Each structure stands twice: as C-alpha cells, then as structure tokens.
Structure 1
Amino acid sequence: MVATLREAVPDAVVEVAACLNACGHPVSLAFRAPGRAAYLFAQADPQDQAAEIAAFVRLWRAAPGGVVTDARACGRLRTMLRGCIPA
C-alpha cells in the first residue's frame, strides 16, 4: 500500500502512522504541511484509489493555503473526507 502511494505521488513524503484516531474507518490518510490546511480521509483504498489520491495532492498543492474548494477531480475520495483543519 505504501509503495503504491509512493509511486503515485513520488515527490511527496509518505509515512506510516500507528494511529490517526479513526480506528473504525481504516485506511485513513492525512495530508499536512506548514502553512497549509490539513485533511483527514478515512475508509480509503490506496491500491484502488492511487490516482484519486494523486489528484487530491495536486489540487491541495495548487490551492492557496491548501484549501481545496472543488474536489470533484478526486472521484470518490472526496466522499471520504472526515476533517479539514485550517492552516
């Protein structure tokens, strides 16, 4: 799973975390960077959704302050959003 994400988004740091406090909704993904909004997605399938995850990363990086206002390009991943924390 980690290898798939690293391949889909080769210029991003992909780390494994022991807990994102979403135990009832694996697999969880978090996106964060200094000065950018942070996002938490749950019940994702990185194997099947690698392209959607890569699309989100591109949108997130391009958006001012990391605030993604239109996530339709992310397919069904956008329905898995569990939280957004402003920068």
Structure 2
Amino acid sequence: MGTTVTVCRSCPAGRSGLASAIRTAIKAAGLAMRVSEVDCMSGCTRPSTVAVRAPGKTAYLFGDASEADVPNLIVFLKLYDASADGNLADARPIGALREKALARIPG
C-alpha cells in the first residue's frame, strides 16, 4: 500500500468535488496514489481537511483546503513521494499549502 490522500466529504470542499479534482491532478501528474473520502475528520475549526499518509512515513493533515490548493498539493505529493520518511527539508515549494498544515504526525 502506498500513499493515501483522504478528503473529508462532510466539509465544504469535500461536498464541492475536491476529491475528484485531486484524483484528476494525481493522474495527470503520473503519481500512483489512492484518494479516499471519509465522513468528518474532526478538523471543524479549519474545515475542508485533507490528510496524506503512507506506511512508515510522517502523516500530514491540512485544513482550509480548496481546489485552488490542488497545484500546491501535487507539488507536496511529489516531494512526499520522493522522501524516505515523509519529512520535507524545505516547505517553501508548496506555497500557501504550508500555512494550512494542521498536524504532522510521525510515522
């Protein structure tokens, strides 16, 4: 099992098609990742949450996500995929997405 991107379908962005936009962008980028949707990820103070995790790697939770963040999310996913432990040496390439990080959970 590789990287999984999980989108909260209870949140505004989840109801507006964010998961579909992420699936399309992942495919276009040639990445082999799974996109899933779940009801409520308890990020309600900063809704529209997206989680990224892979076995043995640091997991990330982002809030306030929208379709406008998809290009930066793809940059993040490429860096995440290339990282042995999921940690990024420099978060600047992911632009405004780095300010939307709610949690970084050690693998």
TM > 0.5 fold call: yes
Paired amino acid for 1:86: P
Describe the superposition over 1:27-73 as per-residue Cα deviations: whole angstroms up to 9, x where unpaired. Answer: 1010011111100010111x111110100001111112111121111
Structure 2 length-normalised TM: 0.75
Task: Tell me if 1:29 matches 2:46.
Answer: no
Q: Indicate which of 88, 92, 101 corresponds to 1:72.
A: 92
- Alignment partners' CA distance in 2, 1:25 and 1:65: 26
**Unaligned segments of structure 1, at least 5 residues:** none
Paired amino acid for 1:75: G
Task: Tell me if 1:9 matches 2:26.
Answer: yes
- Runs of 4+ with deviation above 3 angstroms: none
Q: Indicate which of 74, 77, 80 corresponds to 1:60.
A: 80
Paired amino acid for 1:23: C
Which shifted more, 28-37 or 3-12? 3-12
- Alignment partners' CA distance in 1, 2:40 and 2:76: 22
**Unaligned segments of structure 2, at least 5 residues:** 1-17
Paired amino acid for 1:54: I
Structure 1 length-normalised TM: 0.91
Partner of 1:69, secondary structure, is coil
Partner of 2:60, secondary structure, is strand
The alignment yields a C-alpha RMSD, in angstroms, of 1.0
Q: Which structure carries more strand by proportion?
A: 2
Identity within the alignment, %: 33
